[in-house]
A = this chain, B = another copy of it.
Amino acid sequence: MSMRYIISFLLCLVTLSSISQNELMQKYDLMPWPKEVADNSQKFIIDRHFTIAVNDIENAKIFKSTTSFLRRLSGRTGVFIQKGFAVDTSEVKNPSLLINFERPGKLEINEDESFELVVTSMQITINAVTDIGVLRALETLLQLSSNTKTEFFFQGAIINDAPRFPWRGLMIDVARHYEPLDVLKRNLDAMALVKLNVFHWHLTDDQGFRVQVNSWPKLHELGSDKQYYTQNEIKELVQYASDLGIRVVPEFDIPGHATSWLVAYPEIASKDTIYEIERYAGIFDPTLDPTNNKTYGILNDVFSEMALLFPDKYFHIGGDENEGKHWDENKEIQAFKKKHDLKTNHELQNYFNIKVLEILKKNNKIMMGWDEIFQPNLPKNVVIHSWRGKESMLKAAKQGYKTVLSKGYYIDLLNSVTDHYNNEPIVESNGLTDEQLKNILGGEAAMWGELVTPLTIDSRIWPRTAAIAERFWSDKNVKDVKNMYKRLQTVSNRLEELGITHIRNRDVILRNISNYQNISSLINLTGICEPLKAYQRNKGGTEYKSYSPFTQFVDACNTDAVDARYFNENVDHYLQHPTEETKTILISLFDKWIQNNAEFIKINNNPMLNEIASLSQNLAEISSILKGQLQQSKFDSANYLYAQELLKELSMPTADTELAIVPGLKKLTSTMSD
């Protein structure tokens, strides 16, 4: 067996084409891009006789992942694969896919996830140190599937792969909006598809306490609107993640962001008042009382209980955005600060953190917290989670703290994927030694939940997070944005196959707001409208409550609107090379938007479309003007002025979206007067 592997490997080497990295990235839609990949110009045909053999089929991760692999492959291709399960190596001669691994992996940081994957026309082999490496390899193999008009096949390749960073995470905030277990499960599936390995579960915040706690049950009873995970569900999710080679790091955000704790137990608050679950978004004042022994009593019980529920070594205590207003208002807390020589609220929070650290240590956990916990006197064995900037991350790493970066990966900002993709964690000339660089464990995409529900959360996470996953896994030199977009499109399709709802739920929203009429005109508008970025949608956090409707046109829109990118690019082409060809592309887009308004008007009988009507109308009008301009190439000052007026309106947010073709429209309009 190992002999056969060596031979096929040698055979491959012989026939390797010498093509460039660029060409490889055109050929293979792999994401994250592997460490080493070579093209052997072969392909493995997928037919009903496909079989898998493994050296240890009793391994539960391997059984589940190979079974799931076969279902996904069969579902994608329609091939009636006769053998529905992988078998032991001894049970089949010449399996199509031969898997070998050395040992079960541990769900710990720095566990070996490396693998070799070789696809020849004769056989596919996976070799890995751990079963987790096998999972990673199976995902890569599924990304190699392709088809002609008559057959499906795996692209031939020789791949050696291993991650750049050991900590590659996605944080999901289930406090602002509760997300049922199935939403989390499908997102874990998607994480595994792009080789993310840490699910950071933001479980408590002002808007909700989402875990059943037996020691202090009012936390979930009063702090959750009855929307919480039972301990059985937590165990189920941790197991589900584990089967995918994903660690689960829970976050209980304290001492701020803690209204839901105080709804349950106001006696540990810093201010004597009546607490209610927060319905708005923002930074609020309710804070645990760091001078009250009962606070630590409750924290001790809750965290000791949670420590058993969450097996991972790391335990996130939040610690962010505590402005200490209620501390300042409380005379006893002021007296306490004086007595203990704590000059600032930061020092008081540090005092608090060190007490919490003792509780976690006792429970054999490593403490992790956001930037703000990084204070002098903090022991070195805590992890600093940077959300405010790379500088603080580098500073912490330099001082010997382990760090994880989320600054630049806040996907709820709804910025373009390009921004996140270009956000290289480790800047040049960072002044760190190689040893200090190792303190940078990796990063996490952060999905804050104020504006998402089960209907929309997938579209806010995916496909962008796949590009972030590549940033964490692949070499820093993998950074061709245009090629990333090409590969991301394929990953996006595969995510749909896996159950992610980012595409299908767009149409669900559009059907509702159109009274279930023909939605093609609305789909076209989502091709050029993007949700407002950088929290402009809910300025000040007071427009949307947690139970406001997230079923609007904007919720069907997404970043990186596809027609908008195409239009803006082609405006640039046209302005550089005003050929008939580039002109034709622009004119056909203008025709589309002119026609679209006519279609839109037919279905415009639902109040939820009111705000869109003027957008659609203005778009049709400016399209008409610019089309005329392109065709006639002569200046008409009345048209120009009217176009300027329309542009002004189109540049304003509409129904919480922005028209992403405005840059191109502006450029074209400005040429009218040239």
On A, residues with C-beta under 8 Å from B are 60, 63-64, 67, 70-71, 74-82, 84-85, 147-152, 180-182, 225-226, 230, 232-233, 236, 279, 455, 489, 493, 496-497, 501, 503-505, 507-508, 511-513, 515-516, 544-552, 604-608, 610
Copies held by the complex: 2
**Chain B, Cβ-Cβ closest to A279:** B84
Q: Could you say which residues of chain B place their CB within 8 Å of the CB of A79?
A: 549
Instruction: Kindly state the separation between the CA atoms of A387 and B196 in the bound complex, as whole angstroms.
Output: 50
Q: Apart from A148-B605, A496-B512, what are 8 other A-B pairs with CB-CB below 8 Å? A: A74-B547, A78-B551, A147-B607, A149-B604, A180-B182, A497-B512, A503-B507, A503-B511
Residue of B with least CB distance to A496: B508
In angstroms, how far is the closest chain B Cβ from the Cβ of A280? 12
Q: Knowing A505-B504, A511-B503, A552-B78 touch, does A84 contact B545 (C-beta < 8 A)?
A: yes
- Complex-state Cα separation, A544 to B226, whole angstroms: 43
Query: Please, which residues of chain B bring their CB within 8 A of the CB of A181?
Result: 182
Q: Which of B148, B497, B504 contacts A504 (CB 8 A)?
A: B504
A512 and B497 alpha carbons, distance in the complex (Å): 8
B513–A504 touching, CB < 8 Å = no
Chain B contacts of A226 at CB under 8 A?
A: 60, 63-64
Which chain B residues border A552 with CB–CB below 8 Å?
78
Q: Take A149-B605, A511-B493 as given contacts and tell me if A225 and B504 are in contact as well, using a CB distance cutoff of 8 Å.
A: no
Find the B residue at minimum CB distance from A149: B605
Docked CA distance A560–B249 (Å):
49
Q: Which residues of B contact A230 (CB under 8 A)?
A: 232, 236
Q: Shortest distance in angstroms between A511's beta carbon and chain B's nearest beta carbon?
A: 7
**Chain B residues closer than 8 Å to A501, beta-carbon distance:** 504
Q: What residues on B are CB-neighbors of A507 within 8 Å?
A: 503-504, 507
CA distance A279 to B493 in the complex (A): 30
User: With the chains together, A657 CA to B608 CA distance in Å?
Assistant: 38
In the complex, what residues of B have CB within 8 A of residue A515's CB?
147
Pairwise interchain contact B74-A548, C-beta atoms closer than 8 A: yes
Inter-chain contacts of A497 with B (CB < 8 A): 508, 512
Q: From residue A495, how far is it (CB to closest CB) to chain B in Å?
A: 11
User: Can you identify 14 A-B contacts, CB atoms within 8 angstroms?
Assistant: A74-B547, A74-B548, A74-B551, A75-B455, A77-B608, A78-B549, A80-B548, A80-B549, A149-B606, A149-B610, A150-B607, A152-B607, A493-B516, A504-B507
Residue of B nearest to A520 (CB): B520
A502 to B166, CA, bound (A): 41
Task: Please tell me if the beta carbons of A607 and B84 are within 8 angstroms of each other in the complex.
Answer: no
Q: Which of B84, B180, B607 contacts A149 (CB 8 A)?
A: B607
Is A67 a contact of B508 with CB atoms below 8 Å?
no
Q: Give 6 nearest A-B pairs by CB, closest first.
A: A182-B182, A84-B547, A504-B504, A232-B232, A75-B551, A78-B608
Alpha-carbon gap, A127 to B194, bound state (A): 53
- Quote the shortest CB–CB distance from A186 to chain B (angstroms): 9
Cross-interface CB contact of A513 among B78, B150, B548, cutoff 8 Å: B78
Nearest B residue (CB) for A655: B78
Shortest CB-to-CB span from A556 to chain B, Å, is 12
Residues of B within 8 A of A151 (CB): 607
Give the residue name and chain of the B residue nearest to A501 (CB): B504
Interface centre among A79, A150, A181, A547 (most CB of B within 10 A): A547
Residues of chain B with a CB closer than 8 A to A551's CB: 74-76, 78
Chain B residue nearest in CB terms to A70: B547
A279 vs B80: C-alpha distance in the bound complex, in angstroms? 13
